[in-house]
Amino acid sequence: MTGDFAVLKDRSVLALFAARSTSLLGNAIAPIALAFTVLHLPGGSPSMLGLVLAARLLSQVTFVLLGGAIADRLPKLRVMVGADLAAGLTQGLAAALVITGHATPWMLAGFAAVAGAATAIFEPASRSAMPMLVSGDNLQSANSLLKLSMRGGGIIGAALGGVLVSTIGAGPAMVVPAVTFVLSAMLLLGVRAAHQPPPSDAPALLRQIREGWQEFTAKQWVWVMVSQLAYVNVLLAGSFYVLGPVMADRSLGGAGSWSVVLIAQALGFIVGSALAIKFRPRRPVRAAALLTMGFPLSVLLMAAEAPLAAIAVATFLAGVVIDVYEVVLDTSLQKNVPPHALSRVMSYESLGSFALVPLGMAGAGPVADAVGVQNALYGAAALIMLAGPAVLLLRSVRTVTDVTETEEAPAAVPGAEAAEKSKP
């Protein structure tokens, strides 16, 4: 096995791929089983389901910075194993209460909050783990293949979740994610890091979080790109995920048509992850900034009331662009941020990118009521497309070049000198 797929010869890389795919499988099944469980419990309702899901999201946002500090303080793989086991235990207890008839919506909201905290601790460590296994030109290939395997796990999980709920019931279906989380932890035990950065010697987690903010803001292009993504995600969440179903109901034939659109998006994600293996721009951050202009392709066509086939194709292409963007930006961060601070920077990236998404979802309806659904979709698409050229006005975004293995900052130098050497 040679070229871009040579990383698959490494058993640790394969174990990480398998663990992340298995974990994503469970994460895709869990919300489906949880939704139907809450709706059929005494006191369950759409509003209660919204509160349960919001509890998970709020917890995830609250604990993500702590997760980054913990991952830079302790061995990342151990952090991932611990978080997986916590998620498995939480999911298992919730499933047991549902099956035995003792669960209430408020109990499940509490378990959802714990699960959100486990995810917040897991994600920064997982997103900064690949540079410990792979370096140099192979890093982007590894990130692309990892994203591909994760997308596959998510799609299979979404399909399997519906089948499980309809065949064995929502309660028993909740057991499956508990098993996948434990299996993911077992797979992670087989990963051996070749480039383990030394643990931070910071005396307190709060100090680590502050130092992570300093590292996050040290390079202008890092916080600018995260700000761009936060802006884009707010607009995209409201336009595509809230107003998209409205347009599907009005002009495309309803839920069946919207399912076709979402399937097209999922396929686009898979193809985008595969294409990212070969997409190696010399100035990756500039390329990532421009790729955001392709995110709202489907939003534009929905606003124009285009045929379903055209919207599905546009959604597929947008999915391709989104996954290429994610791989390119993650690889750029992994190559340019000192390893001892990478998890904390990734946690700030996650917080900045998605903390405001609920506002976008909540605000989409009132905006559409005020200006009309189609005008709201056109406006959101136009504002998203302007974001790419806008950030390119900054030289720091335009000039970041791909960092080769010989140019990378030394992994074992955990101070200001290493940060200085890694500046573009």
- How many angstroms separate the CA atoms of 415 and 410, rounded? 10
Task: Judge contact between 387 and 224, C-beta under 8 A.
Answer: no
Task: For domain 206-403+412-424, give the CATH superfamily.
Answer: MFS general substrate transporter like domains (1.20.1250.20)
Mapped onto helix, strand or coil, the DSSP state of residue 416 is: helix
Single-letter amino acid, residue 283: R
**Which residues, at least 6 apart from 65, have a Cβ–Cβ distance to it below 8 Å?**
209, 212, 344, 347, 348, 351
Supply φ then ψ for residue 201, to 5 degrees.
-105, 20
State the DSSP code for 307: -
Give the residue range(s) of CATH 1.20.1250.20 domains in the chain.
1-189, 206-403+412-424
Residue 135: per-residue pLDDT: 65
b/e 334-351 (16+ beta carbons within 10 angstroms → b)? bbbbbbbbbbbbbbbbbb
Q: What are the angstrom distances between the C-alpha of 37 and each of 58, 174, 348?
A: 20, 9, 33
Closest CA to 106 of 161, 42, 169: 42
CB-CB contact of 23 with 91 (8 Å): no
Please give the pLDDT value at position 198.
56
Asked if residue 48 lies in contact with residue 91, where contact means CB atoms within 8 angstroms, the answer is no
Q: What is the pLDDT of residue 424?
A: 32
CA–CA distance, 275 with 273 (Å, rounded to integer):
6
Q: What is the pLDDT of residue 378?
A: 93
CA distance 333 to 403: 10
Whether 191 and 333 have beta carbons less than 8 Å apart is answered as no
CA dist 354 and 372 (Å) reads 26
Q: What is the pLDDT of residue 160?
A: 79
At residue 319, φ and ψ (nearest 5 deg) are -60, -40
pLDDT of residue 333: 83
Residue 5 neighbours by CB distance under 10 Å: 12
149 close to 416: Cβ distance less than 8 angstroms: no
Q: With a cut of 70, list the residues of the chain below it in pLDDT.
A: 1-8, 45-47, 50, 135-137, 140, 193-203, 205, 255-256, 259, 402-424
- The predicted structure's pLDDT at residue 420: 37
399 C-beta neighbours (distance < 10 Å), count: 12
Tokens coding 54: 């919001």
Fold of 1-189: Growth Hormone; Chain: A; (1.20.1250)
pLDDT of residue 46: 61
pLDDT for position 34: 80
Distance linking the first and last C-alpha atoms of the chain: 33
Residues 265 and 255: their CA atoms lie apart, in Å, by: 15
Spatial separation of the C-alpha atoms in residues 101 and 97, rounded to whole Å: 6
Quote the pLDDT of residue 86. Answer: 93
Kindly give, in sequence order, each residue whose CB lies less than 8 Å from that of residue 40, ignoring residues fewer than 6 positions away: 170
Decide if 411 contacts 335 (C-beta within 8 A).
no
**Calpha distance 268→278 (Å, rounded):** 16
Give the separation between CA 194 and CA 345, rounded to whole angstroms. 21
Query: What's the pTM value of the predicted model, to 2 decimals?
Result: 0.67
Contact, 37 vs 103, CB < 8 A?
yes
pLDDT tens digits along 195-250: 565 555 555 767 777 777 888 888 888 888 888 888 998 898 888 877 887 788 78
Q: What is the pLDDT of residue 367?
A: 85
Nearest one of 287, 310, 292 to 235, comparing CA atoms: 292
Query: What is the C-alpha separation between 376 and 61, in angstroms, rounded?
Result: 27
